[in-house]
Amino acid sequence: MDIFTMLLKLGSGMLVSVLIFVLTLLFSLPLGLLVSFGRMSKNGFIRTVTKVYISIMRGTPLMLQLLVVYFAPSIVFKLKVPAGYRFAAVIIAFVINYAAYFAEIYRSGIESIPKGQYEAAKVLGYSQAQTFVKIILPQVIKIILPSVTNEIITLVKDTSLAFAIAQAEMFTVAKQISAAQASIMPLMVAGVFYYIFNLIVATTMEKVEKIHSYYR
Amino acid sequence: MKLLEMTHVGKNFDDTEVLRDISFSIEEGEVVSIIGPSGSGKSTFLRCATMLEKMDRGSMSYLGECACVEEDGKSVYASREKLKDMHKYFGLVFQNFNLFPHYSVMKNITDSLVSVDKISKEEAKERAAALLSQLGLSDKADAYPCQLSGGQQQRVSIARALAKQPKILFFDEPTSALDPELTVEVLKVIKQLAKSHMTMIIVTHEMQFAREVSDRVIFMEDGIIKGQGTPEELFETDNSRIRDFVGKLSGN
Ligand SMILES: Nc1ncnc2c1ncn2[C@@H]1O[C@H](COP(=O)(O)OP(=O)(O)OP(=O)(O)O)[C@@H](O)[C@H]1O
Ligand SMILES: [Mg+2]
């Protein structure tokens, strides 16, 4: 295999990794907010269900969750899964796992907003939805940014877990080539990729935090 | 006309009766101070009047419109829309300001005018600017709450409440979180409002201020009104309990 073919393969793996990352964030950030509402619900049943869900997601390895999501439909439920299910399984597993982590982050942020903010908004006539969107959420976002940054950086590295179900992302590809060519080079390339990816994430989040630093 | 009328108000937190049979009304232009020891239910009373808390017994109406009536010994509230609409009649100034930290002073004042009361942005800004200049804060329009002193923050929160052009303004210990020098500037603003015949209900521990500014002073204890009258009447009462309380807080 010439170096060009190798880089091309690595490049396509890179693309898949980035896609897993983007799709996971796109779905898990809003889903996490929804889950955090469930976790704080007045309804005891909803509260218990979300609590159990969060505890399972955080208490078991993501790799195991990936395997379950990928194999359960065919093995347990005897369903015929479509060819593209591998990638879908990766996204589903990542989204439900990360939503659980984000839910707890949202919850801690929401609970740290003083009651007076809600009361001031209520007296001024804001509806509950307006209060949450205009008054509470912007303050929550500022508070949780550092924790969210941590999660996002972990996610970049976690995308390599898709290797467990042979999804051809960066790490999987690098390992394949490396084994076939008896060369450590592809793995080095992968390492550099993850590092640069995270560098970009960290700088971006730093900028976002700066945007929010105009008030205390 | 009575702007606010509350009759036989009762409120429990779990098993404790925090308000017991309070009847209260206020006329247009009247300034009423509420004094009383800690835990006597002053804040709870204000929170019931401003609908932050639901009362358990008694009735309440603003400008003759019923917010809640008593049926079979229980308060029954009007519809949600009706109650939401009635919020235009009153404003509340909190002890710790509760300004929105992520909004500038201007936006703190104008945002609810625009997004709740559907007033045009231009008019909202004009109203805010006029109030800020009246309260000596014209240069702070673009500042954020964290850049202001406590006294300035409290004046902004007064401006935020006034911008809604309420019929009644409630204050819950508006100067308790402030240093003495800052207290003075806030009290000055409230006195100014009293002069312009703003209807106000003020919970305060500042006896001298209550005496100067009020048309009527109410002494609350154990969830009931133990005495009320003009400042002269109340502060020179024969009731030894009230005299002791006032004396202690006046520092003489
Ligand atoms: N949300 C609540 N849950 C339970 N008890 C409460 C609640 N709010 C107030 N109370 C109790 O009700 C009583 C009256 O409280 P309130 O805050 O109205 O007193 P206050 O006269 O405003 O006192 P202070 O001068 O200290 O502000 C107190 O015993 C208080 O502990
Ligand atoms: Mg109080």
- In chain A, the domains with their CATH numbers are 3-212 (1.10.3720.10)
For the Cβ of B44 lying below 6 angstroms from any atom of ligand 1, the answer is yes
Burial of A194 (0-12, 13-18, 19+ CB in 10 A): middle
Chain A residues whose C-beta sits inside 8 Å of any chain B C-beta? 114, 116-117, 119-127, 130, 134-135, 138-139, 142, 214-216
Convert the pLDDT of each residue in A18-28 to its tens digit: 999 999 999 99
**pLDDT per residue over A154-185, tens digit each?**
999 999 999 999 888 899 999 999 999 899 99
CB distance A215–B144 less than 8 Å?
Answer: yes
**B47 CB near ligand 1 (under 6 Å):** no
**Average pLDDT estimate for A46-54:** 97
Q: What is the mean pLDDT of chain A?
A: 94
Residues around the ion ligand 2 (C-beta < 5 A): B 43
Quick one: which H or E segment has residue B71? strand B65-71
pLDDT score at A74 = 87
Tell me if B59 CB under 6 Å of ligand 1: no
Distance between CA atoms of residues A193 and A159, nearest Å:
12
B164 CB neighbours in chain A (<8 A) are 124-125
Contacts 24+ apart (CB under 8 A), B36-43: B36/B218, B36/B219, B36/B220, B36/B221, B36/B226, B36/B245, B37/B221, B37/B245, B40/B220, B40/B221, B40/B222, B40/B223, B41/B11, B41/B220, B41/B222, B41/B223, B42/B172, B42/B203, B42/B220, B43/B172, B43/B173, B43/B203
Which bound ligand lies closest to the C-alpha atom of B222? 1
- DSSP secondary structure letter of residue A132: I
Band of pLDDT at residue A80, cut at 50, 70 and 90: confident
Which of B222, B223, B243 lies closest to B234 in space, CA to CA?
B243
Chain B residue with Cα closest to A116 = B98
Q: Is A125 in Cβ contact with B117 (below 8 Å)?
A: yes
Distance from CA of B43 to the nearest CA of A (A): 13
CB contact under 8 A, A215 and B101: yes
The mean pLDDT of A93-113, rounded to a whole number, is 98
Look-up: residue for tokens 């912007």?
Answer: A138
- Residue B214 backbone dihedrals phi, psi, to 5 degrees: -90, 150
CA distances from A118 to A88, B95, B158 (A): 40, 15, 17
Residues of B in contact with A127 (CB under 8 A): 84, 116
What is the pLDDT at residue B239? 84
CB B1 within 8 A of CB B186: no
Q: Give the residue from B98, B104, B173 with the most A CB atoms within 10 Å of its CB, the best one to mutate.
A: B98
Q: What are phi and psi of B211, to 5 degrees?
A: -65, -45
Among B92, B101, B146, the residue with its CB nearest the CB of A123 is B92
Cα separation of A111 and A37, whole Å? 11
pLDDT at residue B251, as a whole number: 61
- Provide, as residue numbers in chain A, all residues whose Cβ is less than 8 Å from the Cβ of B160: 124
Q: pTM of the full predicted structure?
A: 0.92
Interface test with B, best of A123, A145, A211 (most B CBs within 10 A): A123
B184 in A contact zone (CB under 8 Å): no
Distance between CA atoms of A199 and A216, rounded to whole angstroms? 27
Distance B42 CA to ligand 1 centre (A): 8
| Residue ranges in chain B modelled with pLDDT below 50 | 252
| Structure tokens, A86 | 């591998």
Place of tokens 């002269």: B232
Cβ-nearest to B102 among A114, A122, A138: A138
Report the C-alpha gap between A12 and A168 in whole angstroms: 8
User: Which residues sit opposite B19 in a β-bridge?
Assistant: B11
DSSP β-ladder status, B31-35 and B57-62: unpaired
Question: Which run of H or E residues covers position B77?
Answer: strand B74-77
| Residue located nearest, by CA, to atom 5 of ligand 1 | B13
Q: Is B18 in the pocket of ligand 1 (CB under 6 A)?
A: yes
Fill in the amino acid letter for A52: V
Distance CA A186, CA B146 (A): 52
The percent of chain A in helix, strand and coil, each rounded to the nearest 5, is 85, 0, 15
> Following CA atoms B183, B184, B188, B194 in sequence, which dihedral angle do they give, to the nearest 10 degrees?
60
| CB < 8 Å to A121, chain B | 100, 112
Q: Is residue A1 scored above 80 in pLDDT?
A: no
| Contact assignment for A125 to B102 by CB distance below 8 Å | no
Task: Compute, in angstroms, the gap from residue B92 CA to the centroid of ligand 2.
Answer: 13
- Cα separation of A79 and A73, whole Å? 6
What's the token pair of residue A174?
A: 């690098």
pLDDT value of position B242: 86
Residues in chain B within 8 Å Cβ distance of A214? 144
**B43 close to ligand 1 (CB < 6 Angstrom):** yes
